[in-house]
Chains A and B, each alone.
Chain A
């Protein structure tokens, strides 16, 4: 039966800006990240429109360089990582029974730093030389003063450093919350899968992000004070520093959504997560390994130890396989309910699998030499980041929206959105595997008509617009669901973890009382105990 929920008391503008409650800060990060997602997505549509046919129709090559730089860096630095951390900031305190994060003011400071960094990056478009144009990696010497003169590139460097510093602060406070603010009974071995995923995500964040901030500082100094990387080994040193951040960040953008998917699959399979301890151990192994694979991005430079990085990269398949096995085994024998969050969770599993398996190709030096810097790599990481992480983000959105707002998102629009995104992702990115294998280089605004790339490029462009329709469906769902409110109640999904034990939306200090905590799934324990009694 549909019930009408009373509208939530709306925070005034001052409360939105100044509130230190972890839930408000997380909501601010999520809203800002979604705005940057739309902006970076529009840039992607411009690029795909340009590539729909040979020749330059819409933008110049210089503008195209700015588009792919701001699209890639926007999505990585300003969208997926912040979205993942926003989820952690909102739900980790709820899942561990804490009243707030360790340092709410510092967390709010992290958000403002991130927002300022993002606006600084985008403000580069207003300068005479345009925005950053050296790719999201800003490889040297392409990002040096000679190849990329002007303030736009400087603003990009400053903006990246600020945004990354802001997110590092947020991650540090989440990690400390997990360590120091758990409720009585919430032993660290009883963390929910999502909280475990955030534990390792934040641990990776605080160890890898400082290296990028140093790299950006050195790059800025190189451009403005005097040569630092302009030495025989300088460009490789920059790449080492960059990828020491750049590869762990892939898992920083993966783990939280894997955690979400584990929670969602357990909830909608009406079962306890299969192999919980193995999931935790595999996350630990994955985290350590993920810090050791960064130079597989540098196989083609000839300046790294290919055998070592190939070994560690291939070894990642073992913990990843354990995690997949745990999640799939949870569904086996369960009463699987195909509600919208579950559909997105299944989408995450299938699309990330394609991204993961093609990662084995680029983790093997002889194969990587063939596809290096081609569209194959673009397809691979878009399957992991868009097909994987964004599917996980939408699973989280549909799963936790009722908790955050107290109202349900419309199921039929959610299912329509899922269908559009699933088709759109495959239509856009699968042809890129073929383009890359056939030798189409990435980061080019044009290609020769006789190269045989036109058909697959056209398919990819059509797919990009289908994705855009999917995103429009999500926005429509938000508007419809918030205007014509259907009350969610406190626990609409029969959740297992602690966040479902409080009201929707949760009060300022999160809980008025806590159930007994004897496992990672206290609400499932209660339900099972009642069943045993009855």
Chain B
């Protein structure tokens, strides 16, 4: 875990060095922001890994199948298409998203209760 943090840290520093070079060379704000965010993201990931260091995740129950993901994704796709075709499709999509998330929550509860 710590060595993983080191990889992210090294990557963040490396990108950060190029961000500073770009800044010194005098680039516009949007490229600097996007590029700086990438360096900051890598540094944050490294920090997160240091804070949550130690062994990997504990054993977990893995589901064989789940209805929630395809239903939720169908909802998101319909709602996003609704942005082009009208509010009615957004609402149908939103209902499917809610239904799909409900399925995922129910499945997770069932798995936890054994």
Contact = CB atoms under 8 A, between A and B. Distances in A.
Contacts of A21: 62, 64
B27 A292 contact: no
B69 interface: yes
A115 B8 CA distance: 31
Contacts of B34: 211, 240-241, 244
Given A151-B84, A292-B35, A305 B26 contact: yes
Contact of A182 (B49, B56, B81): B56
B69 A20 contact: yes
Contacts of A155: 81, 84
A203 B12 CA distance: 11
Interface string A11-29: 0001101111100000000
Interface of A is mostly: helix
B94 interface: no
Given A188-B7, A305-B25, A116 B65 contact: no
Interface of B is mostly: helix
11 contacts: A112-B74, A158-B83, A181-B56, A203-B42, A240-B30, A291-B15, A291-B38, A292-B22, A308-B27, A312-B18, A508-B64
A236 B30 CA distance: 10
B99 interface: no
Nearest to A248: B38
Interface of A: 14-15, 17-21, 99-100, 102, 104-106, 108-109, 111-113, 115-117, 119-120, 151, 154-155, 158, 161-162, 166, 178-182, 187-189, 199, 203, 206-208, 211, 220, 224, 233, 236-237, 240-241, 244, 284-285, 287-289, 291-292, 294-295, 303-305, 307-308, 312, 508-509
Interface in B65-106: 65-70, 72-74, 76-77, 80-81, 83-85, 104
B86 to A, nearest CB: 11
Interface in B17-71: 18-19, 21-22, 25-28, 30-31, 34-35, 37-38, 41-42, 45, 49, 56-57, 62-70
A109 B85 CA distance: 23
Contacts of A287: 11
A112 B1 CA distance: 31
Interface residues of B, number: 50
A105 B69 contact: yes
B4 A188 contact: yes
Contacts of B83: 154, 158, 220, 224
Contacts of B56: 179-182
Interface of B: 1, 3-4, 7-8, 10-11, 14-15, 18-19, 21-22, 25-28, 30-31, 34-35, 37-38, 41-42, 45, 49, 56-57, 62-70, 72-74, 76-77, 80-81, 83-85, 104, 107
Contacts of B80: 120, 158, 161-162
Contacts of A161: 80
B11 A18 contact: no
Contacts of B66: 18, 20, 104-105, 108
A154 to B, nearest CB: 4
Nearest to B17: A288
Contacts of A308: 21-22, 25, 27
B62 A509 contact: yes
Contacts of B18: 288-289, 291-292, 312
A284 B62 contact: no
Nearest to A127: B84
Q: Give the 5 A-B CB pairs with smallest separation, nearest first.
A: A116-B77, A112-B73, A288-B14, A18-B65, A154-B84
B14 A285 contact: yes
Given A105-B69, A285-B14, A116 B76 contact: yes
B46 to A, nearest CB: 11
Nearest to B3: A188
Contacts of B1: 179-180
Contact of B77 (A15, A120, A508): A120
A505 B61 CA distance: 22
A14 B65 contact: yes
